[in-house]
Each structure stands twice: as C-alpha cells, then as structure tokens.
Amino acid sequence: MPDTHFYRYDGYDRTLVSERVDQFRDQVRRRLAGELTEEQFKPLRLHNGLYLQLHAYMLRIAIPYGTLSSRQLRKLADISRKYDRGYGHFTTRQNLQLNWIKLEDAPDALAALAEVDMHAMQTSGNCIRNVTADHYAGAAIDEIEDPRIWAEIVRQWSTLHPEFTFLPRKFKIAITGSPNDRVAVRVHDIGLRLWRNGQGEVGFEVIVGGGLGRTPMIGKTLREFLPKDELLAYLEATLRVYNRYGRRDNLYKARIKILVHEVGVEKMREEVEAEYAATRDGALKLPAATIEAIARQFAPPVLSPRPAVSGRVVAQRLDDPDFALWLKSNVAPHRVPGYAIVTASLKPAGAPPGDASAAQMDGVADIAEAYSQAELRVSHEQNLIFPHVAVEDLPQVYRSLAALGFAEANVGKITDIIACPGLDYCALANARSIPVAQRISNHFASIARQHDIGDLKIKISGCINACGHHHVGHIGILGVDKNGVELYQISLGGDVDFGRTAIGSILGPAVTADKVVEAVDAIVTTYLDARRDGERFVDTYRRIGAQPFKERVYAAV
Amino acid sequence: MAKNLSGDLQVASANRLVDGMVVWLDEAGQWTDRLEHAAVARDKRGAEFLLERARVEAFSVVDPFLVAVAEDEDGTIEPLSLREKIRASGLTFDAIAADAVRYA
C-alpha cells in the first residue's frame, strides 16, 4: 500500500492527541463517579466532540480538510462497529458523526482514533472548527495550488490555540485553491481563496463575515491579495479583532458576520490591518522552510503515464447507458492525463444522505487501495471522493461502487441532496430532514430524468441553524415547527458558485410535510417548461423570477 | 379512542448518563427505558413534585425535564410533541445496518 500523500503526524501531534485521550478518560471517570456535575462536564465533553442528542451521545470526528487514508476509513468503520451501531454520517464540514456512542465507551473510541492520527477536538465549542478544503485538492485540473498545505498550517496554528478557545461563537474557515469554488468560501466566517495576481504571485483573497444560520450573509473581501507567508499573522489579527469586539451579549449575534455587518467591512479592515501592523513580523511570519516542509508532505503521488482514452471505457460507455451517465456526473478530470477524480455517491435512491455502513466504509477503503493510491476525500456535499483513479480502471471502480450501492449517477443532480440529521437525531432541530430527503430522492429516482433535469442542488435543514445549508440550495428547504406541526419553508435561487454566491429567496407560505414532494415537482416542472437550451435551473430562476414557480407550487399544494 | 390532549398529564424524562439513552421516571423513583412504566403527574402540583423527584434521582441521568403526554382510556400514554414521540419511539426511518452494502 502506498504511503499517504498528505500530512503525517509527528511526535508532537501524537503526544498532544494521546494526552488529550488520557485527560478525557479521567474526566469521564470523574463524571460517572459523580465527582463532576453535568454543568462542569458538558464543556469538557463538547471540547472532545461529544454531544448529547435526542436518543444518545453523538461523537463528531474531525477529518482535517476532508482528507482520509484508506487505513483511517477502516478504523472509522471499526469504531462504528465496535462502539456504535455500525454506520456513520458524513457531514457538511467533511467530518463523520457517530450517533449512538456510549459515554463510557467514548474514551476508548477516541483512543482508537488516535491510533490512526485522528481525534474529535474542536468539532464543537466556540473555537476554530475543523478547516475545510476543496475535496478535489491535489487532483483538480483547475487547481492553482493545493489548499490542504495551508489548511494543515491553519490546523496546527488553531489546535488548542489558547487565545481562541473561548471565542464569542464558533468559527469556520474554508480554503480553496481553485477558481471553481467547491467549498463555499463566501459563506464561511473566513473564506480563503488562492489566486494568482498580475505579477504571477500566488496569494490569498481573504473573505470575512459570511455564514448561514439564522442570519445568512455573504462574506466580504477583507484583503484582496495576501502573500501566503503572511497568512497566520493575518488570521491571528482577524481573530483577535473578532475576539475583542464580537458580541457576547446575544448568542444569535455573536458570529463574526454580525460584527462585520454592524461595523462595516471598511472599519473591520482598518482594525485588522492595525492589529496586523503590530504583529506581522512576529513569530507567525512563516519561514519558507516551514512551509516547504509541510508542502513536501502533500507532494502529489507519482502517477505513471496512462492513456488519456481507454478502449475499455469507450466500449462500456456505448454498451451501458448507466455507466455513461455515471461518467458524466460522477467523474471529473484530473490534472494528470489518463487519470480521473471519482465521486462515490452516498445518496442512493431513498437513502439517508451522507450515511455509510461499516461494510460500505470498508468497501470504499478497498477500492481506494486498489485504484486510488489509498486516498479518499469527504466532500461538504456528503459524498466520498477517490482523487487519483486511472481512466482505464473506471469500469472496475464503477462495478465495485455499484456493489456497495454507491454508484448512483447523481452527483450535482436533484437527488444529490444535502440534509442535516434533523429531528430524528438532533436536539436542536424543529423538524425532520432525512425523511423529506428520502421522499424527494424516491420521487426523482430515475437517473435518466435526473440527467434531463440537469444540475440542481437541494439542501434541507431541520432548523434555522442551517446545517443543511438550505440558504444556498438552488432549492432550499427549511423545516419549522408551527404549533406542533412540521412545516417546510421553500426558498429558491441560492447558490455557492464563486462570483454568483446568493442567498435563496423564500417562495411563499410553508407547506406541510406531505406536500413537499409535490411542491418540488411543481418547481421542477416550471423550470423544464421555461428553460432555454443548456440553461441550469438556477439560471432559469434568475431569468424568469419567482412568480411562475410560486403560481405553480401553490396551485399544486 | 378518546385521548386526554389537554397537556395536563406529564411524565419526567431524561437521558441516561452512561449511554445517553432515553429514560422516564417510574412510580418507584427508578429510571426506566419503558415509557409505559413512567409515573404520570395529573395536575400542576403533581408535575412539580414529579420534576423535583426526578432531580433528586438525577445521579444517573442528565437534565431531567417534564414531557406532556396523552393517555388513552386503557391507560396507554403517548407524548404530545413530535420530538418526544421520536425520543420515545426512535428514528422515523430505517437506519442502515452495519453489514449492509445496499439500500432496499
């Protein structure tokens, strides 16, 4: 099995994670012995990613920048089998949630994670959360630089950062190294976009104050071009300004987006730049050798030259229409000719979006070892990615995925739904998300029809916290509770594409659960009737506006 | 069958400390994972007493609270809110089994 082509823990990392496991084991022991109250214990367990949900504890495991080795995925499968109910849920922050962990088992689960250099720190609490990055990183044909090098540098800087452990609220950072934004940089507390300026230098556009939740906002550019080696000092200055001025008086106004909105981006920039001027040449100015040492760990695998066109693939594409559709939707071009990026859809018809059984995780790990350099990515759209697949191996990968139930040719299509766990699991939710996603998925199960409809993203949240990103869905669905009845508010026109990021507009009155499918069907029919050649759903919506959709939906429900 | 939907009836619930599972307080002051064994408070004073007792017995559970329930004529109780129905009955869809590789 090849070595990994991403960061490997050193002794410092291992000691830190191991000591944290021991510390948490003792905290759990004291809680179970009654030496700690729940009030005392709750922040300790949350600092280790352990939530208490409706039915059980939930462990949220960090998958830094969504990158996994096959060995790590096998361990996740083992942990889910041994300490949970044998399945897990991949999340919109590229993490994995196990929904049935016992408190008494949690330290052992964390110890097992530590064996493969993983943990659950900073997956909860008012700290800098797991940094997300492009799931095509290191393989994308449009990539300027691998964003994971910087995500790892940010990870090392932000892990247990004493100044930023008790921020006004949680803080989410996303990094893309490509012009095609696959991480939604404009709806993060800080979004970082690598780009090349007129002088040929690569640096970051620093975007601040985006976010979803109760008050969705699109981030604003704080710094047009930041030299790469200045990243940490600039981030520290930004976090310091937020920590100083962010509102702690109102939970709902505590995110940095509210601060930026209230003071304006110009004032925010002035404050950050003043702080930065005082600290920019300090310890956080990264030496080139440090950056290079981390970059070396992300050196791409040596991929032997392969034919860009495979006779086997061409033949199967002609013989098998399902395979042909899968090639169109689930396979993306690779930076190296003769290779491809493959997305395993965790959205089989009628399945809970993003869920995988232990057997499926093992199966995906097998495929990664056989065909993709033993590497995997988790996308924020809750799918798994094989980043380095030889084109001539695509038929075998397709067959192997089909055997797992993960070969649905629906990536980017109407059934590639993002959904939060909703009221079936979550203590914060007001309404269910997964059953709604399942009904929509079953209704639009025909792959041929999905491809006819084209790119259409449905995102479902079970409450206003918007973990299902409904604000930026082409069709967004928000579950609300009205006098004990689940209702679903539909919005249209959301988007996360770079340069077109938009918050969706509410279509009209919320509909009952049993009418959601009819409403979505009416929206799709309106689009199909109105679209011009090659026009995506969201483009048709922008051209014709909400009214035709509204008339059709409310006539149907 | 007629149900008491007034919301006057309440039971005390919590999550079990050791594993987070849903439990209710029974007449003997023990935490049970069977809703049908839960002690039912039938008025405001009874509910206050039940919650107080739940807090006293909270060593092995987390954050006890009251849950409004309805009661059939045959004495079967059921939570009024969807959230509590889900807590009592479990997921409203079939989760995938550990060894499953395909969805039905």
Instruction: Provide mean pLDDT across the span A457-472.
Output: 97
Tell whether B97 is covered by a domain.
no
Residues A75-95: what's their mean pLDDT? 97
Please check whether residue B51 lies inside any domain of the structure: yes
Task: State the Cα–Cα distance between residues B84 and A423, nearest whole angstrom.
Answer: 10
Is A124 among the domain residues?
Answer: no
Chain B residues whose CB is inside 8 A of the A360 CB are: 96, 100-101
Q: How many domains does chain A have?
A: 3
Residues A214 and A266 in one domain: yes
Mean pLDDT is lowest, of A226-235, A266-275, A491-500, A546-555, for: A491-500
Q: Which residues face B61 on adjacent strands?
A: B16
Domain check: are A244 and A106 in the same one? no
Residue A22 lies in a domain: yes
A413 within domain boundaries: no
Q: Which of A234, A220, A296, A312 is nearest to A264 (CA)?
A: A220
**pLDDT tens per residue across span A287-316:** 999 999 999 999 999 998 888 889 999 999
pLDDT tens profile A331-354 = 999 999 999 999 999 999 999 999
d(CA A38, CA A72): 32
Q: Which of A100-114, A258-272, A369-383, B5-19 has the lowest mean pLDDT?
A: B5-19
pLDDT band at B103 (very low <50, low <70, confident <90, very high): low
pLDDT of res. A23: 98
Task: Quote the domain boundaries for residue B41.
Answer: 10-89
CATH number, domain of A15, equals 3.90.480.20
State the Cα–Cα distance between residues A105 and A86, nearest whole angstrom.
Answer: 15
A277 in the same domain as A195: yes
- A277 and A170 share one domain: yes
Examine residue A530 and state whether it is found in any structural domain, yes or no: yes
Residue A465 backbone phi and psi in degrees, to 5: -70, -15
Rounded to an integer, the average pLDDT of A124-131 is 96
Residues of A in contact with B81 (CB under 8 A): 484
Looking at A297, A332, A359, which one is the last position of a domain? A297
Q: Report phi then psi at A373, rounded to 5.
A: 60, 25
B101: in domain: no
Query: Which of B6, B17, B60, B63 has the most A C-beta neighbours within 10 Å, making it the best mutation to test the interface with A?
Result: B17
Beta bridge partners of A334: A140
- For A410, the token pair is 């629906």
For chain A, what percent of residues have pLDDT higher than 90?
Answer: 96
B17 touches chain A (CB under 8 A): yes
Domain match, A540 and A441 both: yes
What band does B1 get if pLDDT is binned at 50, 70 and 90? very low
Residue A55 CA to residue A45 CA, distance in Å, equals 17
* Dist CA A382 CA A90 (whole Å): 5
Coil/strand/helix, residue A423:
helix
B2 band by pLDDT with thresholds 50, 70 and 90 = very low
Q: Which of A229, A264, A297 is the last residue of a domain?
A: A297
> In Å, how far is B3's CA from the nearest CA of chain A?
17
Mark whether A107 and A157 lie in a shared domain: no
The reply to whether B45 falls in a domain is yes
Question: Does A362 map to a domain?
Answer: no
Look up the domain containing A536 and give its range.
418-556
Confirm whether B35 is domain-assigned: yes
Inside any domain, residue A4: no
Would you tell me which residues 480-499 of chain A have a C-beta closer than 8 angstroms to some C-beta of chain B?
481, 484, 486
User: Considering the domain boundaries, does residue A317 fall inside one?
Assistant: no
The tally of domains found in chain B comes to 1
Query: d(Cα A145, Cα A166) in Å, to the nearest integer?
Result: 32
Around Cβ A390, how many Cβ atoms within 10 Å? 20
Q: Quick count: other Cβ atoms within 10 Å of Cβ A197?
A: 12
At A516, phi and psi to the nearest 5?
A: -65, -45
Question: For residue A245, is it within any domain?
Answer: yes
pLDDT at B5 over 60: no
Average pLDDT of the segment spanning A541-557 = 97
- What pLDDT is recorded for position A108? 98
Q: How far is CA B82 from CA A228, A423, A436, A447, A543, in A?
A: 50, 9, 15, 34, 40
The reply to whether A151 and A291 lie within a common domain is yes
pLDDT bracket for residue B8 (50, 70, 90): confident
Same domain for A160 and A279? yes
pLDDT of residue A10: 95
Q: Domain with A455 in it: what CATH number? A: 3.30.413.10
What is the per-residue pLDDT for A498? 78
Residue A424 has pLDDT above 50, yes or no: yes
B1 lies in some domain: no
Q: How confident is the model at residue A360 (pLDDT cuts 50, 70, 90)?
A: very high
Same domain, A292 and A163: yes
A355 falls in which pLDDT band (50, 70, 90)? very high
The pLDDT tens digits of the residues spanning B32-63 come to: 999 999 999 999 999 999 999 999 999 999 99
A268 in the same domain as A165? yes
What is the chain A residue with the closest CA to B22? Answer: A55
Q: What is the pLDDT of residues A401-423, one digit of tens each?
A: 999 999 999 999 999 999 999 99
Asked if residue B22 is part of any domain, the answer here is yes
DSSP A143-208: -SS-HHHHHHHHHHHHTT-GGGSS-SS-B-EEEE-SSS-SS-GGGSSEEEEEEE-TTS-EEEEEEE
Residues A72 and A190 in one domain: no
Please identify among residues 344-363 of chain A the ones whose CB lies closer than 8 Å to any CB of chain B: 348-352, 355-360, 363
Classify A514 as helix, strand or coil. Answer: helix
Q: Are strands A485-492 and A384-390 parallel, antiparallel or unpaired?
A: unpaired
CA gap B6, B4 in Å, rounded: 6
**How high is the mean pLDDT of chain A?**
96
Is residue B85 included in any domain, yes or no? yes
Helix or strand or coil: residue A516? helix
Chain B window 42-101: which residues touch A at a Cβ cutoff of 8 Å?
Answer: 59, 62-63, 80-83, 86-87, 90-93, 95-101
The pLDDT of residue A499 is: 85
Are residues A494 and A544 located together in one domain of the fold? Answer: yes
- A259 has pLDDT over 70: yes
